[in-house]
Amino acid sequence: MSVSSPGAGRYAPSPSGDLHFGNLRTAVLAWLFARRSGRRFLLRVEDIDTQRSSAESAGRQIEDLTLLGLDFDGEVWVQQDRYPAYAAAVDELRARGLVYECYCSRREIREASGAPHVLPGCYPGTCRDLDDVTRERRRAALAADNRVPALRLRSGVGEWTVRDFYAGEYTGEVDDLVLRRGGQCPDWAYNLAVTVDDAAQGVDQVVRGRDLLSSAPRQAYLAHLLGYPEVGYVHVPLVLGPEGKRLAKRDGAVTLRQMLEHESIEQIRGRIADSVGMPGVSDMAELLGRFDPDRLPTGDVVWREEPRRE
């Protein structure tokens, strides 16, 4: 009799710069949720944005996570090694008539999505039902500029419902989402890559910031179309900057390396522990032993920079 492998959680940063306190806090929460439930914990480098990602940044992020005290199971997956899997998924959808080319520019999409009859932020289906003559003309116009069209999913629903640990049942809009971006440097789209990779790695628990909750229905619907198992979502509160916006590098010494200039790694762990409702803890084993997801503070955390040591 075969024994099924345990499920997995994961942390999947984009290597476009050093991780800041908010990223680190989410990574720790993802680790806590996975380890507490007996899941494997995986690390994936989400570098499909080739213009912003770098191997150097990925290496620095892995060093920082290790220094913080997180451990991972198995090899680190790199999305730029996964292009054949994304292409295979799109080919499967295309064979079922669920993929079409989109020739719209960003400006055209922005203007169309702002129309009164269109849900904000959703693609209105401009290129969904173009005739073959128009498609050939639009395709040729892009080719003359050394560009290729985007590929979009021909969605059959307008919304989809997911289950989130904190938000409960959440229903969000689903449009004809991008599967592969167009232009001169076509990259695979985030929603496709993350969905394919989570299924391939056996990820059944996704812990991330709650600003990404609205993307979960799109990813869950895409997973449904591809026949993947359902994923359990955990969208956690964010770390906000002093102005109430999501924490960013403009808010001061927010990266681990900057913080280490005037704080010890134990103090930084303590700040993370305090932010998840366990003040006075600076040891990762103790943090794991005491972690109770039901007692995680539900409000966003406001960043404050510690005074520098003389």
Whether residue 78 sits in one domain with residue 89: no
Q: What is the pTM of this model?
A: 0.91
Domain boundary (165, 189, 213) is at 189
Residue 308 lies in a domain: no
- Per-residue pLDDT tens for 47-58? 998 888 899 999
Q: What pLDDT shows up at residue 120? A: 60
Residue 30 lies in a domain: yes
- Per-residue pLDDT tens for 114-124? 554 455 668 88
Give the separation between CA 304 and CA 299, rounded to whole angstroms. 15
Whether residue 147 sits in one domain with residue 240: no
Whether residue 88 sits in one domain with residue 78: no
Find all residues with CB under 8 Å of 97, minimum gap 6, and list them. Answer: 154
Q: What pLDDT shows up at residue 1? A: 29
Residue 310 lies in a domain: no
- Per-residue pLDDT tens for 255-266? 999 999 999 999
Kindly write down the DSSP assignment for every residue of 193-231, as one continuous string.
HHHHHHHHTTEEEEEEEGGGGGGHHHHHHHHHHTTPPP-
Whether residue 118 sits in one domain with residue 267: no
Whether residue 212 sits in one domain with residue 179: no
Tokens describing residue 179: 């599967």
Mean per-residue pLDDT, 194-215: 97
User: Any idea what the CATH number is for the domain that residue 284 is in?
Assistant: 3.40.50.620
Provide the number of structural domains found in the chain: 2
Residue 29 lies in a domain: yes
User: Any idea what the CATH number is for the domain that residue 177 is in?
Assistant: 3.90.800.10
Q: What pLDDT shows up at residue 3? A: 36
| Residue-wise burial string across 242-262, b where 16 or more C-beta atoms lie within 10 A, e elsewhere | eeeeebeeebbbbbbebbeee
Q: What pLDDT shows up at residue 215? A: 95
